[in-house]
Structure 1
Amino acid sequence: MPAPRRVSTAELVAAVRTIAERDGLDAVTMSAVAAAVGVRAPSLYKRAANRHELLRLAADDAVAELTAEVSALAAAIEDPREVLSGVARALRALAGRSPTVITLLFGAPAPQAGPSPEGVVPLMNVLLDSVGAIAPADRLSAARTLTAWAYGFCMMEQNGGFRQGGDVDAAFDRGLEIVLRGIGG
């Protein structure tokens, strides 16, 4: 009898993300992911106890992707406003590449399906450090404001919420300018 096929974490994550983006979060099931990676569903239980844990793998991967981009920006740029601008742009770019998976970062169907708290820490540190340089008295509220605005803009953009015409890229730039000005007092 041949040995069962071993699935790498990268293969598993890629399958979850592909299914989520192609068919939606509800389509991410143990059996669908197992079929996508060429194993039987019980084989996945070594890596994920249920579908929420599969979704968490995708959420953690998306956070790691965003963190890598944001950390590189923070290392290369000294101006905290430019770092925050880069954070918002990186979030928008991720939303463009992974419009379904990004929803796991802010609105997972269950707490276990969202990103691991420890996985979010490096991203939050960059965000809070940059915000703290321009709004030291209220770092968390300012970080939440920027994040909520950027994510809300992305969701409206993805859902066709900007039907009034005009340049959506220019609107993003202008909105970001206004939010950053407001954060900086």
Structure 2
Amino acid sequence: MPAPQRVSAGALVRAIHTIAERDGVDAVTMSAVAAAVGVRAPSLYKHAANRHELLRLAADDAAGELSAEIAALAEGSSDPRDVLAGAARALRALAARSPTVTTLLFCAPAPPAGPSPEAVAPVMTTLLGTMGTLAPDDPLSAARTLTAWAYGFCMMEQNGGFRQGGDVDAAFERGLEIVLRGLGDTR
């Protein structure tokens, strides 16, 4: 009897990611992912108990990617506005590359399908620490405002919501400038 094929965590995440982006979140099932990695569905239970946990693997991977980019920005600049603007741009770039998986970060179909607190913690630590220098009275509200604006812009962009013409890239940069200026205004 041949030994069962092993599935690496990386291969599993790539398969989940590919299925989600190509066919949508609802298409990520134990059997679809198993077929994509060349094993039978029961073999996946070593990695995930159900489809929500499969989705969490992809969400955690996206959070890790975003975290690494934001940490590199924070290490490379002492200007909080540069770091926060870079974080918004990194989120926009992730949403452009992987709109469906990015949605799992904010709007997963169920809480267990969203990113784990451990995966999000590095992003939040850097974001709140940086925001604390810009808006020391309430960095959490300020971070939520920036995140909501950036994510909302990304989703409108992905869904064709900007139909009035004009340069969407310039609009993103102008909006980002306005939001950051507003967050730093402590009047």
Superposition TM-score, scaled by structure 1 size: 0.99
2:25 is the alignment partner of 1:25 = yes
Partner residue, 1:13:
13
Q: How far is 1:145 from its partner?
A: 0.1
Partner residue, 2:144:
144
Q: How far is 1:118 from its partner?
A: 1.3
2:80 is the alignment partner of 1:106 = no
Residue by residue, what CA displacement relative to the aligned partner does 1:124-173 show, whole Å, maximum 9, x if unpaired? 01100111001100100000000000000000000000000000000000
AA of the residue aligned to 1:63: A
Q: How far is 1:56 from its partner?
A: 0.1
Q: How far is 1:174 from its partner?
A: 0.4
Partner residue, 1:41:
41
AA of the residue aligned to 1:13: V
AA of the residue aligned to 2:55: L
Within-5 A mapping of 1:1-185:
1-185=1-185
Runs of 4+ with deviation above 2 angstroms: none
Deviates more, 1:119-128 or 1:142-151: 119-128
Q: How far is 1:119 from its partner?
A: 1.1
Q: What RMSD, in angstroms, separates the aligned Cα atoms of the two structures?
A: 0.4
User: CA–CA distance in 1 between the matches of 2:169 and 2:54?
Assistant: 34
Residue by residue, what CA displacement relative to the aligned partner does 1:22-73 show, whole Å, maximum 9, x if unpaired? 0000000000000000000000011100000000000000000000111001
Secondary structure of residue in 1 paired with 2:100: coil
Q: Unaligned stretches of 5+ in structure 1?
A: none
Superposition TM-score, scaled by structure 2 size: 0.98
User: CA–CA distance in 2 between the matches of 1:13 and 1:142?
Assistant: 32
User: CA–CA distance in 2 between the matches of 1:8 and 1:84?
Assistant: 34
- % identical equivalent positions: 78
